[in-house]
Structure 1
Amino acid sequence: MAKTGFLSLMFLLLFAASRSTLSANSPNNSTDKSALLALKSHITHDPHNLLATNWSTSTDICNWIGVTCGSKHNRVVALNLSSMNLTSTIPSPLGNLSFLASLDIRHNSFHGALPVELTNLRRLEYLNFGNNSFDGEIPAWFGYFPELRSLIMHDNNFTGVIPSALANLSKLEKLILYNNYFKGHLPSGIFDNLSKLQELDLNENRISGRIPKCLFKCKKLRFLSLYTNFLEGSIPIEIGNLTELRVLYLGDNKLKGEIPSDIGKLTSLEEINLSYNNLKGKIPPVIGNLISLQVMGFYNNNLTGQIPSSICNLSSLRGLSLSENSLDGTISECIGNMSSSLSHICLQNNNFHGKLPDNFGKNCMVQNLEINNNQVEGLLPRSLGNCKDLMLLHVGNNNLNDTFPNWLGNLDQLQVLNLRSNGFHGKIYISDGTISFTRLRVVDLSHNNFSGYLPMKFFENLHVIRERYESKVKPEYMIFPSLDGVVWYAQDLSFTTKGLEIEFQLLLTTYMAIDFSDNKFFGEIPKTLWELHSLIVLNLSHNYLSGPILSSLGGLSELESLDLSSNKLQGRIPMELNNLGFLEVLNLSQNNLVGLIPQGKQFDTFSNDSYRGNPGLCGLPLSKRCDNDEETPAKFDRDGVAVDDELNWKFSILMGYGCGLVLGMSMTYVAFATGKPWWFIRIYERVRRRITKT
């Protein structure tokens, strides 16, 4: 009995001790609470008062915003303060949260040094400091988290090299460090021990040297991105070891050599981007083995030869970008056959020839087709009319020979149409009752053989450009949405803007441009142009346009570039053009314009080149002075006719008629009364000769 009583007493003592321990480690214990209150005291900006009001000493910390406690020990196991717009530093007492397994403070403005006391977080599995303002080097002690599976520190200002101590994180599955300022080589042995690594994202840093071969020992890698660094050398053939890889981004580096054929072993690959490098040679035919491939980007390299026929095996391909290479041959008809899945076709700036495939099916999913700057010929494929989602068509700088594709007017998603520098010809005819380019924002028909009058109906249908641009609306980049949520941007597009050929890496939706230059259009400028309120660029140069410059063009308040040069325009330059407050480029040269050049505002910024080849123009910036009666700026009506001149002419006729009648009757009476009609006749002849001279 004594022994039993002793054991019972010991049990009670142990139970009491355990209760005491649980009480000490309860949500109200001073350790966790003081650690979190220390963090709260370091926060200098809490715009939504999320912590200021909720993190109260009178409230159970397990009910605090962002705090999660474990059910077993009631200790803080997770802290999530993401996207709260907080500004703070990390206090050293935060390392006292010894049960913490997840720490997420992404999308804030945390800054300053990282305290070494964080190494006390031995249970930490998930650490996300992404999108903050931390700087300096990553301390070597970051390798002392034995349970860490995710280390995410992207979008900060970290510098220095990636510490080799990260090799100690043997359980690491995600290492996300993109968009920082890391430099130097990747540590050669860092990946030897990271056998569980599945995601590695180091893009947009300053990492140099070769891709270490030990990286390809991480056979569980599914996502590998080294995009936008300074890596050099060739792509190691060991890349074929990554048989579970789904995403491979090695673009925007200094890689050279050929694309290794071992890349054909990556049969799980869904996206590959090797763009913006110095790769050469042919596209390996084994690319056709990547049957899961959805996106292939090899643009901006030195690749040669033809597109391998094996590409036709890629039935899941959505995006094909081979632009800016030296590829040749014809464009396979299988490209058209793949249009039911292929939404982005970018083949510009190569040496492709022959005709374009004309087998785009009724289920065509193509959103952008860019085949500009090649040598393709023949007609524009009529089957493109099946591509109801087509938003961008760029076939400029080729040898196409066709009439204007008015059938494209039925594509109500079309926003950018570029046919420049081909052999398109004939009149532009838009029939009634069609959709007719209602969403078109950019149209470039320059350097062709179009003729006839400028198409008034075409301009009337440009509803997007006709709408007034609201300055409060935030400009956005033109994107091509897709069903899987992936965003494609309209990029690397070139247009003649402000007299220069400009390449737009990204195209804003507010960019509105019309370029009909270097054709054979004639007649007057259509009055409907003044209704295109959001137009930024208008180029009608090098045609046979006649008549006046419409004063109503002064209502195009967003216009930045106006080129009407090398036509047969007549009359004065309307003063209303002075209302174009954003106008940066004006070219009215080589016309038949006359009179005083408007002065003030934007006109004070234009040089002689804007007016050359108009002998009848005078005033600054030209050296030719105007007559006194031209020094006063004239007013014009909406058709470019000087209002004052018309009124003065009518007034002069009336005054001349009235005064002439009285004076004539008086002189006639005097002449015949004095018997000297020769005096009247001499005056009459002198006035008649003066009128004849003028």
Structure 2
Amino acid sequence: MVIRMLPCQILCLLLAFLCFQVDCSLSFSSSFHHSSTHLCLSEQRDALLEFKHTISVDDDCDTYPTINSWNQSTDCCSWQGVRCNKVTGHVIGIDLSHGCLNGSLFANNSLFHLQNLQWLDLSFNSFYGSLLENSTLFHLQGLQRLNLAHNNFNGSISSELFNQLVSLTHLNLSDSGFSDLIRYAISLLSNLVSLDLSGNDDDTSLSFDAQGFDMLARNLTKLRNLVLDYIDLSGVSINSFLNLSSSLERLSLSYCELHGEFPGEVFGLPYLQHIHLSWNQNLTGYLPKTNLSLALELLDLSFCSFSGSIPSSFGNLTRIIFIDFSENDLGGQIPDVFENLNKLTSLTFYSCNFSGQLPTTLFNLTQLTQLDLSQNQLEGALPNHVSKLQLLEAFWVHDNQISGRLPSWLFTLPSLQQLDLSYNKLTGPIDQIQKPNYLDYIDLSSNEIHGPIPSTFFDLVNLSSLLLSSNNLSGVIKSNMLLKLKNLYNLDLSNNSLLSLSTSGNDVNYSSSQLGLVLFSSCGIRQFPNFFRTSKLMVLDLSNNKISGGISKW
């Protein structure tokens, strides 16, 4: 017999099933609310309160400290930063990150008596001391996530962490204060999905030897996130990177003292999204012509020693968002392969030894916010018309051989804030600006621009720095024009011999001016400009002018 169910009956059954599912899922969810019945086990509460009494809270804490919600009269499963299993009442998670906490995690700390802990986050506090080999932390063999980042520990990382906490999937000890060699026993953490041991720029960072890193690369086959910035890897064989997990999504190795030729095969790991190799100045290599990971979103090779050209396959990186090749000897022309990189927001080719014309497709990248092509040998003119760079905030092309007139679109792009075209061969006058944008910084110094500064130039009211030195500018700048630039701090118009200042506005009140640095050397000024008398002025250079007459009381 076939039983037919009415739509309303089906709906009721579905709702009942959904409620059951939600209830089951909530039984293991975070408990940050007050319950009518106390779920917390008394021994768990006592362990947490004992821990609270062994530490202190910074007096100058900007936020309400998480641990202040812990008190005897409420269910510990409702305390901020505590997560319980709602069936057994065991504490399974503690998050005290950014808690303004000070103290030592001594060996028999009551926090480590919570045997059912699955994750523990004590990051961004001021915990100190060493993690000794007899620490009860290492008895938490069900611990899956441990984050001790940004603390003030000292000494080496005990091998017991690697020998005992074999259930760990996420380990973050970044900038935690530990030093010394990382033992090869770290390769025992075969369940690790994410490992961050990065340090900072002090001298107490961790280091790997060849055996330790090679075993890590071979044994941590589930690894998706590996961050070792500022870790000393100078003793590591560069070929060990060939053994990294094929599941890797993020690889960050900045400031690691790597040397030798980086294996191009790493760029082809199928899931690789982020790769940071910056500031390894003895690291050489080439961008592979084929097999670049199509998952790449971020590629930072800045301040390395890569060479060769950018391959045409680069145009297939349709997910790429960030590229920085600063200070590499790539050479040749920038290939015109950017047409399909529609997600690219930041492109930096600073000092890459590029030459030739600018690729036209660069100016069609609608998501671009930063474009830096400085210190190359690029030549030719900028496009006459650009309309697609509506999100561009910074455009740096200084120290090249760009010629032709200064296009007016540079001053009308709605998001542009910083413009640096200094040390090029730009010519012609500056056109009147039809729709001034929000530029904050302009540097057009050391070009061949001539003619007067148009009056509409002073409608760029957000300017804080205006640098036009060493051009062929002429005409007279009136004081009331400068008065419109209320945020202007840095003004450099030096080495424009035909440019002068009108002193007819010497009686103008400049008390609200922000000017702190004014350079007018080697111009055509004939009378001392009193309107620069402001309380904020720190540097005034009027040398090599034709000033005559007296200087009024300052």
- The match for 1:412 among 437, 451, 456 is 437
Alpha-carbon separation, structure 1, partners of 2:66 and 2:338: 56
Alpha-carbon separation, structure 2, partners of 1:263 and 1:41: 59
Alpha-carbon separation, structure 1, partners of 2:253 and 2:377: 30
Q: Which residue of 1 aligns with 2:526?
A: 546
Q: Which residue of 2 aligns with 1:320?
A: 347
Q: Which residue of 2 aligns with 1:285?
A: 312
Alpha-carbon separation, structure 2, partners of 1:89 and 1:263: 52
Q: How does 1:17-36 map to 2 (within 5 A)?
A: 27-30=40-43, 32-36=44-48
For 2:281, the aligned partner's letter is K
Shift of 1:392: 1.0
CA contact (8 A) 1:376 1:400 kept: yes
Q: Which residue of 1 aligns with 2:207?
A: 183
Q: Which residue of 1 aligns with 2:221?
A: 195
- The match for 1:257 among 269, 272, 284 is 284
CA contact (8 A) 1:264 1:287 kept: no
- CA 1:430 to 1:386, structure 2 compared with 1: closer, same or farther past 3 Å? closer
- CA 1:455 to 1:424, structure 2 compared with 1: closer, same or farther past 3 Å? farther
- CA 1:435 to 1:227, structure 2 compared with 1: closer, same or farther past 3 Å? same
Which stretches in structure 2 are left out of the alignment for 5+ residues? 1-37
User: When the two structures are superposed, what TM-score results if normalisation uses the length of structure 1?
Assistant: 0.68
Q: How does 1:286-685 map to 2 (within 5 A)?
A: 286-338=313-365, 340-361=366-387, 364-385=390-411, 387-407=413-433, 410-431=435-456, 436-465=459-488, 512-519=489-496, 520-525=498-503, 527=506, 530-531=510-511, 533-550=513-530, 552-554=531-533, 556-576=534-554
Which stretches in structure 1 are left out of the alignment for 5+ residues? 1-24, 466-511, 577-694
SS in 2 for 1:443: strand
CA contact (8 A) 1:390 1:411 kept: no
CA contact (8 A) 1:348 1:372 kept: yes
Alpha-carbon separation, structure 1, partners of 2:75 and 2:392: 57
Q: Which residue of 2 aligns with 1:84?
A: 99
- CA 1:127 to 1:459, structure 2 compared with 1: closer, same or farther past 3 Å? same
Alpha-carbon separation, structure 2, partners of 1:435 and 1:282: 42
Alpha-carbon separation, structure 2, partners of 1:212 and 1:529: 68
CA contact (8 A) 2:486 2:514 kept: no
SS in 2 for 1:568: coil
More off after superposition, 447-456 vs 392-401:
447-456
CA contact (8 A) 1:131 1:155 kept: yes
Q: In the TM superposition, what whole-angstrom CA distance separates every residue of 1:441-475 from its partner, at most 9, and x where no partner exists?
A: 1100100011111243431221323xxxxxxxxxx
Q: Does structure 1 residue 172 correspond to structure 2 residue 172?
A: no
1 or 2, which has the higher helix percentage? 1
- CA 1:529 to 1:272, structure 2 compared with 1: closer, same or farther past 3 Å? farther
CA contact (8 A) 1:82 1:104 kept: yes
For 2:493, the aligned partner's letter is F
Q: Does structure 1 residue 213 correspond to structure 2 residue 240?
A: yes
Alpha-carbon separation, structure 2, partners of 1:342 and 1:150: 34
Q: In the TM superposition, what whole-angstrom CA distance separates every residue of 1:140-172 from its partner, at most 9, and x where no partner exists?
A: 112121221110122322211233222111111
SS in 1 for 2:331: strand
Alpha-carbon separation, structure 2, partners of 1:223 and 1:318: 19
More off after superposition, 523-532 vs 247-256:
523-532
Alpha-carbon separation, structure 1, partners of 2:289 and 2:219: 24
Q: How does 1:111-260 map to 2 (within 5 A)?
A: 111-115=128-132, 116-143=135-162, 144-180=164-200, 181-185=205-209, 187-209=213-235, 210-214=237-241, 216-260=243-287
Alpha-carbon separation, structure 2, partners of 1:529 and 1:344: 38
Shift of 1:207: 3.4
Alpha-carbon separation, structure 1, partners of 2:317 and 2:452: 47
Shift of 1:400: 0.6
For 2:346, the aligned partner's letter is G
- The match for 1:274 among 301, 324, 329 is 301
Alpha-carbon separation, structure 2, partners of 1:353 and 1:152: 47
CA contact (8 A) 2:241 2:266 kept: no
Shift of 1:569: 1.4
For 1:149, the aligned partner's letter is T
Q: How many residues are aligned here?
A: 499
Shift of 1:387: 1.7
Structure with bigger RCO (C-alpha 8 Å, 6+ apart):
2
User: When the two structures are superposed, what TM-score results if normalisation uses the length of structure 2?
Assistant: 0.84
Q: Which residue of 1 aligns with 2:123?
A: 106
Alpha-carbon separation, structure 1, partners of 2:305 and 2:86: 56
Shift of 1:62: 2.5
Alpha-carbon separation, structure 2, partners of 1:193 and 1:516: 62
- The match for 2:90 among 61, 75, 79 is 75
SS in 1 for 2:482: helix
Alpha-carbon separation, structure 2, partners of 1:529 and 1:517: 24
Alpha-carbon separation, structure 2, partners of 1:331 and 1:214: 35
- CA 1:553 to 1:524, structure 2 compared with 1: closer, same or farther past 3 Å? same
Residue identity over aligned pairs, in percent, reads 28
- CA 1:332 to 1:111, structure 2 compared with 1: closer, same or farther past 3 Å? same
More off after superposition, 442-451 vs 91-100:
91-100
Q: In the TM superposition, what whole-angstrom CA distance separates every residue of 1:638-663 from its partner, at most 9, and x where no partner exists?
A: xxxxxxxxxxxxxxxxxxxxxxxxxx
CA contact (8 A) 1:288 1:310 kept: yes
Q: In the TM superposition, what whole-angstrom CA distance separates every residue of 1:39-98 from its partner, at most 9, and x where no partner exists?
A: 223203354785776433454332333222212321111111122211111132332211
More off after superposition, 55-64 vs 344-353:
55-64
Alpha-carbon separation, structure 2, partners of 1:387 and 1:139: 56
Q: In the TM superposition, what whole-angstrom CA distance separates every residue of 1:269-321 from its partner, at most 9, and x where no partner exists?
A: 01101001122222233222212112111011222111112233323222111
Find the structure with the greater CA-based Rg. Answer: 1
Shift of 1:193: 1.5
SS in 2 for 1:224: strand
Q: Which residue of 1 aligns with 2:50?
A: 38
Alpha-carbon separation, structure 2, partners of 1:302 and 1:350: 10
Q: In the TM superposition, what whole-angstrom CA distance separates every residue of 1:497-523 from its partner, at most 9, and x where no partner exists?
A: xxxxxxxxxxxxxxx200000002135
